């Protein structure tokens, strides 16, 4: 009887088995310590803690944040090495990645659901503390069909360009893929610039009343997601320049595109609910 078995690892197509077998990594443990350092630093800053007579201040937050960024850089670099060089991501593992990204976006939806709940609860039943009207009398709302409408058009256009990029990578056209991806990055940066401009010229402060708090929490949290999504796409752009994405293997970019479309859809809800209906 022939005891010779076929190899379970193909250097071109990856492992011929369903398990996600990778080299041992210290990044999960190191990242846990970095996240703990960031949390402790934030708590010490918020409670004005002193160490050896010296206020901790923002130093603890900055050190923890840098530690988290360093772990993200190192860990994700190893994941890219597993995918591109070691071909360690089997077909079944890639299905798991898709489920994981789907569940991650679903968890983000719950975040925004909470913010929308707070906004509608306050706007449909305005409290006596704000005069029983919405928006409160001491708030000058930002006109919906001014800067916010232009920001909406920018995000919708970016949704078109990233869809174009996705179509081109499916066709195997690397040059046009990079063009579409690059345009999406530029539009994301422009959107962030206009949101910062809007905040700088807003006439109400974060802690002024429930309207301002709900407005800044919802739109600011979305702005943070735009920033994260833009960084995600920038990484994908440079990976694309290096030829990491193929016609049949480009989940890293696909995950970024899913995330970007999620950001687009959330902004449409924000525009209609907070800028348009909420200001009426």
pLDDT tens, residue by residue, 235-263: 999 999 998 888 888 899 999 999 999 99
Taking the whole predicted model, whether its pTM rises above 0.75 is answered as yes
Each residue's pLDDT tens digit, 118-139: 999 999 988 887 888 888 888 8
Each residue's pLDDT tens digit, 25-62: 899 999 999 999 999 999 999 988 888 878 888 888 99
Q: What are phi and psi of 13, to 5 degrees?
A: -110, -5
Q: What is the pLDDT of residue 167?
A: 95
Confidence of residue 276 (pLDDT cuts 50, 70, 90): very high
Domains, the chain: 23-85 (1.10.287.70), 91-277 (1.20.120.80)
Taking the C-alpha atoms of residue 279 and residue 17, their distance in angstroms, rounded to an integer, is: 56
| Closest-CA residue to 262 (of 93, 114, 111, 73) | 111
Q: Does the pLDDT at position 159 exceed 50?
A: yes
Q: What is the pLDDT of residue 23?
A: 81
């Amino acid at each position: 009887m022939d005891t010779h078995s076929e190899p379970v690892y193909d250097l071109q197509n990856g492992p011929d088995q369903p398990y996600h077998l990778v080299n041992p990594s210290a990044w999960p443990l190191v990242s846990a310590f970095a996240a703990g350092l960031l949390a402790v630093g934030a708590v010490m800053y918020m409670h004005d803690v002193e160490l050896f007579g010296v206020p901790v201040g923002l130093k603890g937050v900055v050190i923890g944040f840098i530690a988290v960024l360093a772990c993200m850089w190192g860990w994700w670099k190893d994941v890219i090495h597993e995918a591109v060089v070691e071909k360690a991501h089997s077909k079944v593992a890639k299905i798991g990645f898709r489920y994981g990204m789907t569940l991650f976006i679903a968890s983000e939806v719950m975040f925004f659901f909470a913010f929308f709940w707070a906004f509608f609860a306050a706007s449909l039943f305005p409290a006596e503390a704000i005069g029983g009207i919405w928006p409160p009398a001491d708030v000058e709302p930002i006109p919906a069909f001014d800067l916010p409408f232009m920001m909406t058009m920018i995000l919708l256009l970016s949704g078109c360009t990233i869809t174009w990029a996705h179509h081109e990578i499916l066709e195997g056209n690397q040059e046009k893929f990079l063009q579409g991806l690059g345009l999406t990055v530029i539009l994301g940066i422009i959107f962030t610039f206009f949101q910062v401009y809007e905040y700088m010229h807003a006439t109400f402060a974060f802690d002024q009343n429930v309207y301002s708090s709900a407005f800044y929490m919802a739109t600011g949290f979305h702005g943070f997601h735009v920033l994260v999504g833009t960084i995600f796409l920038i990484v994908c752009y440079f990976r694309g320049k290096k030829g990491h994405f193929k016609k049949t293997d480009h989940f890293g970019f696909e995950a970024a595109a899913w995330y970007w479309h999620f950001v687009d859809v959330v902004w449409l809800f924000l525009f209609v609910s907070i800028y348009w209906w909420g200001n009426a």
